Amino acid sequence: MSNIGQIYYTMGEEGRGRQRRKTRENIEVISSVAPRAGANPDRRISRIQMQRGSSGRGRSKNAAMQSIVAAMPEKSSRKRGMGSSRWLLWLLVLTVVFAAGVGTGWYIWGRNTGSTISLASIQAPEWVDQKLIRKNIYSRPAVSLRQVNDIVVHYVANPESTAEDNRNYFDRLADQSEDGAISASAHFVIGLEGEIIQCIPINEIAYASNNRNGDSIAIECCHPDETGEFTQATYASLVKLTAWLCDETGISRKRVIRHYDITGKDCPRYFVGSEEAWKQFKKDVQAYQGDWE
């Protein structure tokens, strides 16, 4: 193996593509200046050394030789450095994998802080009028709601309609033909007089909250006009029902959300338009908790 070949081999062994390319460039330069056979090999080395680093340029032959000697242990230490950086890389990969695992665990744990109580065992209080709608694929698919993470507040977006009207609308969806069928429902509808009708058992899913139907309880509220503002009676019943649901299911007040918080939809309009009213509602629920009897 020639000197040049030796150097190429040694440097190539360092393994990094960038360095390999660099070495190849150097070899080309070196080849063009390679001395005739029999020339002093030290001279070749000094040239090679000069090619390898700009710091070597302009140095004397002796200085170049010294730098070769100096470079030798440096090279081996660089190799050690490479080894430890590989370990660091592995450590980094392991850390990332571990962090991803822990992060996923935290995420799942966070998602599971909803109700752990058996929803089927919760009995509706006497102030809730249970008028369950028929089981059907459009509004009551009879799919188990295994867990509740959020309570979602809606407005019916149909001024002056009553709780009964909305309950019957959900029920009539059962009679649709397949073409252009509508899916809609809610667990509870609160009327203009504060009456509360339960349409779907809380251990079944309703079709109200888009991608969150599978882990939330939906409350629809009636309203007298387009502003979506609730009557005093509707509001009072919403506070009471929400407080009861939080207490019974163990869901945190913080997990009472608006339809708006899921999809950005203007629902319930009054609470979307007034953050103050929404905050006040949460406070009123808090004040009512444990006192909904």
Q: Contact residues for Zn ion (CB under 5 A)? A: 154, 259, 267
- Are residues 196 and 163 in contact, defined by beta-carbon separation less than 8 angstroms? yes
Q: For strand 216-221 and strand 129-130, is the pairing parallel, antiparallel, or unpaired?
A: unpaired
Q: Which is nearer to Zn ion, 7 or 189 (CB)?
A: 189
Angle at 291 between CA 287 and CA 292, to 5 degrees: 105
Cα–Cα dist 181/208, whole Å: 15
Residue with smaller CB distance to Zn ion, 46 or 209: 209
DSSP state of 174: G
Cβ 265 to Zn ion, closest distance in Å?
Answer: 6
Q: How far is 67 from 63, CA to CA, in rounded Å?
A: 6
Tell me whether residue 23 or residue 209 sits nearer to Zn ion (CB atom).
209
Closest CB to Zn ion among residues 198, 209: 209
CB of 279 to Zn ion, least distance (A): 19
The one-letter amino acid code at 43 reads R
**Which residue, 48 or 267, is less far from Zn ion as judged by CB?**
267
And the tokens for 190?
């609160």
Which is nearer to Zn ion, 11 or 267 (by Cβ)? Answer: 267
Distance CA 173, CA 133 (A): 10
Best CA proximity match to 186, nearest among 222, 229, 227, 160: 222
Give whichever of 52 and 212 is closer to Zn ion, judged by the CB atom.
Answer: 212
Between 47 and 259, CB nearer to Zn ion? 259
* Residue count (the chain): 293
Taking the complex as a whole, how short is the minimal distance between the CB of residue 263 and Zn ion, in angstroms? 8
Decide: 108 and 177 in contact? Cβ < 8 Å: no
Q: How far is the CB of 219 from Zn ion (least distance, A)?
A: 10
- Shortest distance, position 84 Cβ to Zn ion, whole Å: 58
Please state the closest distance from residue 205 (CB atom) to Zn ion, in A. Answer: 15
Q: What is the DSSP string of 176-223?
A: --STT------SEEE-TTS-EEE-S-TTB--SSSGGGGGGEEEEEE--
Distance CA 174, CA 169 (A): 9
Which parts of the chain fold into alpha helices (H)? 3-13, 17-33, 41-52, 61-111, 163-172, 232-249, 259-263, 269-273, 275-288
